[in-house]
Amino acid sequence: MALRAEIAKVVVGQDAVVSGLVVALLCRGHVLLEGVPGVAKTLLVRTLSAALQLDFKRVQFTPDLMPGDVTGSLVYDAR
């Protein structure tokens, strides 16, 4: 598959994760990538978005994260 080959040019040694990510993408599913720092989680998703010509946004899950930080918020302007 061309997508896997494109990701493999950048991310090395994560073939099972790449396969799972592609399957989830084709099934329109969700993915939670967990791992210690340095296992290319962000690089993998950034490379996937570049290969598909999509925008890449990242949410850093810190202890002070609020639901509105993830879902966004709407501010009503009465004017």
Identify the pLDDT of residue 49.
94
pLDDT along the chain (79 residues), means of 10: 90 92 92 91 94 88 86 82
Identify the pLDDT of residue 60.
81
| Per-domain residue ranges of the chain | 2-71
Rounded-to-integer distance, Cα 2 and Cα 58, Å: 25
- Entry pTM: 0.74
**What does residue 32 show for φ and ψ, rounded to 5 degrees?**
-115, 115
Rounded to the nearest 10 degrees, what angle do helices 41-51 and 15-26 cross at?
A: 50
Identify the pLDDT of residue 10.
94
